[in-house]
């Protein structure tokens, strides 16, 4: 949605959720650094540890939720259901069982129900960002 002002159209700030399982947190930091110029123009929310690392290592301003196993995925899902999330980048570790798998499935299901883009790997995350016109990264950094 775009707001019209006397100075011209002002696009709405995108609200993006960033989530990464433990073995994917380094990948999330690299992704955030690749897309940092755009992400700095967005309202970001993330689960606990991921959000802390994005703040500390990528220098991004992030609204931190609880850690995933403590309900952070569900907090993001609730905001998504209320129409307050435009895209989800959820770097999942498919090789490691997660104790909160039902919460993860609920979040991905909410993305499907509410037609919100949900990328679960780096290649798709890059494509989602580009397809939505959210970023113009260096082509050498794209994971597709």
The pLDDT tens digits for 31-57 are: 999 999 889 989 999 999 999 999 999
25 is in an annotated binding site: yes
34 is in an annotated binding site: no
Q: How many domains does the chain have?
A: 1
What pLDDT was estimated at residue 7?
56
Task: Report whether 82 contacts 111 (CB < 8 A).
Answer: no
Q: Is residue 33 part of a domain?
A: yes
Q: Is residue 123 part of a domain?
A: yes
Could you tell me the pTM of the whole model?
A: 0.84
What pLDDT was estimated at residue 1?
47
Establish whether 27 is a catalytic residue: no
Number of H helices, E strands in the chain: 6, 7
Among the options 73, 86, 103, 126, which is catalytic? Answer: 73
pLDDT in tens, 67-99: 988 999 999 999 999 999 999 999 998 888 787
Please tell me the distance from the alpha carbon of residue 52 to that of residue 12, in angstroms, as a whole number: 25
- What's the sign of the alpha-carbon dihedral 125, 128, 132, 137? positive
Please tell me the distance from the alpha carbon of residue 64 to that of residue 137, in angstroms, as a whole number: 25
Q: Is residue 37 part of a domain?
A: yes
What pLDDT was estimated at residue 103?
84
Please tell me the distance from the alpha carbon of residue 26 to that of residue 10, in angstroms, as a whole number: 34
What pLDDT was estimated at residue 90?
96
Q: Is residue 76 part of a domain?
A: yes
50 is in an annotated binding site: yes
pLDDT in tens, 118-144: 999 999 999 988 877 655 555 555 555
């Amino acid at each position: 949605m775009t707001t019209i002002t006397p100075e011209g159209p002002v696009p709405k700030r995108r609200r993006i959720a960033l989530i990464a399982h433990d073995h994917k947190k380094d990948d999330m930091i690299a992704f955030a650094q690749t897309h940092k110029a755009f992400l700095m123009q967005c309202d970001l929310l993330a689960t606990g540890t991921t959000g802390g690392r994005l703040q500390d290592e990528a220098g991004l301003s992030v609204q931190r939720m609880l850690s995933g196993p403590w309900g952070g995925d569900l907090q993001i899902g609730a905001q998504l259901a209320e129409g307050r999330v435009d895209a989800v980048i959820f770097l999942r570790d498919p090789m490691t069982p997660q104790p909160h798998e039902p919460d993860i499935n609920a979040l991905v299901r909410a993305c499907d129900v509410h037609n919100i883009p949900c990328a679960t790997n780096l290649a798709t995350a890059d494509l989602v960002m580009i397809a939505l016109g959210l970023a113009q990264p260096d082509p050498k950094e794209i994971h597709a």
